Amino acid sequence: MQFSVSRNPVAQEKTACAIVAVHATRLSAEAQILDKLYQGHLSQAVKAGDLASKRGATLSLFMPKASNHKRVLLVQLGKEKTLSIIAFKSLMQSVAKAVHATNASNALSLLMSLNVDDSSPRAIARLQSTIFSDSLYQYSETFSKEKSVHKLKRITLHCSDNATLRQIQTGCAQGKAIASGMAVTKHLGDLPANICTPTHLADEAKAIKKGNKRLSVQVLNEAEMKKLGMGSLLSVSAGSAEQAKLIAMQYKGAAASKKPIVLIGKGITFDTGGISLKQGAGMDEMKFDMCGAATVLGLMKTLAELDLPINVVGIVAAAENMPGSKATKPGDVVTSMSGQTIEILNTDAEGRLVLCDALTYAARYKPDVVIDMATLTGACIVALGFEACGLMSNSDQLSADLLASGQASADRAWRLPIWDEYQSSLDSNFADMANIGSGRWAGAITAGCFLERFAKDYQWAHLDIAGVAWNMGKNKGATARPVPLLTEYLLRRAKQA
87: domain CATH number is 3.40.220.10
Residue 81 reports pLDDT greater than 90? no
Indicate whether 135 and 193 sit together in one domain.
no
pLDDT of 23: 95
pLDDT of 343: 98
Indicate whether 418 and 489 sit together in one domain.
yes
The CA distance from 370 to 314, in Å, is 10
For residue 38, the enclosing domain spans: 2-158
Indicate whether 104 and 201 sit together in one domain.
no
Q: How many domains does the chain have?
A: 2
In a domain, 53, yes or no: yes
Residue 386 reports pLDDT greater than 90? yes
3-state secondary structure 19-87: EEEEECCEECHHHHHHHHHCCCHHHHHHHCCCCCCCCCCEEEEECCCCCCECEEEEEECCCCCCECHHH
Segment 166-179 mean pLDDT: 97
Look at residues 158, 174, 191 and tell me which one is the last residue of a structural domain.
158
In a domain, 111, yes or no: yes
pTM: 0.97
Q: Residues near 458 by Cβ (< 8 Å), separated by ≥ 6?
A: 362, 363, 367, 368, 369, 370
Residue 440 reports pLDDT greater than 90? no
Residue 162 reports pLDDT greater than 90? no
pLDDT of 163: 83
pLDDT of 319: 98
Indicate whether 149 and 206 sit together in one domain.
no
Q: Which residues are catalytic?
A: 278, 352
The CA distance from 13 to 30, in Å, is 12
What pLDDT digit, counting tens, does each position of 235-264 carry? 999 999 999 999 999 999 999 999 999 999
Residue 147 reports pLDDT greater than 90? no
In a domain, 77, yes or no: yes
More confident residue, 81 or 319: 319
As a whole-number percent, the residues of the chain with pLDDT over 90 amount to 96
Residue 37 reports pLDDT greater than 90? yes
In a domain, 173, yes or no: no
Residue 234 reports pLDDT greater than 90? yes
Indicate whether 149 and 211 sit together in one domain.
no
275: domain CATH number is 3.40.630.10
What pLDDT digit, counting tens, does each position of 395-419 carry? 999 999 999 999 999 999 999 999 9
Structural contact between residues 278 and 313, judged by C-beta atoms closer than 8 angstroms: no
In a domain, 168, yes or no: no
The CA distance from 77 to 255, in Å, is 46
pLDDT of 314: 98
